[in-house]
Amino acid sequence: MARPKEFDRDEAVRRAMGVFWEKGYEATSTDDLLRAMGIGRQSMYDTFGDKHRLYLEALQRYQAESAASLMERLRAEDSPLAAVERVLMAIASESAAERARGCMGVNAIAELAQKDAEVASVSKSAAMTCEAAFERVVQQAKRRGEVPPSVDARQAGRFLLNALQGLRVTAKAGAPPAALREVATFTVASLRAR
Partner DNA sequence: CCGATTATGGACCAATCAGTCCAGATAGAG
Partner DNA sequence: CTCTATCTGGACTGATTGGTCCATAATCGG
CB closer to a copy of itself, 16 vs 127: 127
Shortest Å, Cβ 11 to DNA:
12
CA-to-CA distance for 138 and 132, rounded, in angstroms? Answer: 10
96 near a copy of itself, judged by CB under 8 A: no
Closest CA to 189 of 156, 158, 162: 156
161 near a copy of itself, judged by CB under 8 A: yes
CA-to-CA distance for 27 and 68, rounded, in angstroms? Answer: 28
CA-to-CA distance for 76 and 61, rounded, in angstroms? Answer: 25
* Type of residue at 109: I
* Type of residue at 110: A
CA-to-CA distance for 14 and 36, rounded, in angstroms? Answer: 10
107 near a copy of itself, judged by CB under 8 A: yes
Shortest Å, Cβ 88 to a copy of itself:
10
H helix or E strand, kind and range, residue 43: helix 41-48
Q: How far apart are the first and last CA of the chain?
A: 64
29 binds, among a copy of itself, DNA, none (CB under 5 to 8 A by kind): DNA
Q: Which of residues 4-23 bind DNA (CB under 7 A)?
A: 4-7
CA-to-CA distance for 107 and 189, rounded, in angstroms? Answer: 28
181 binds, among a copy of itself, DNA, none (CB under 5 to 8 A by kind): none
Classify residue 4 by its DSSP letter: P
6-14, 43-51, 74-82, 115-123 -> range binding a copy of itself (CB under 8 A): 115-123
Residue among 18, 22, 47, 111 that touches DNA (CB under 7 A) = 47
Residue ranges that bind a copy of itself, judged by CB under 8 A: 22-24, 26-27, 100-102, 106-107, 109-111, 113-115, 120, 123-124, 127, 154-156, 158-159, 161-170, 172-175, 179, 182-183, 185-187, 189-190, 193-194
Residue ranges that bind DNA, judged by CB under 7 A: 1-7, 28-32, 39-43, 45-47, 50-52
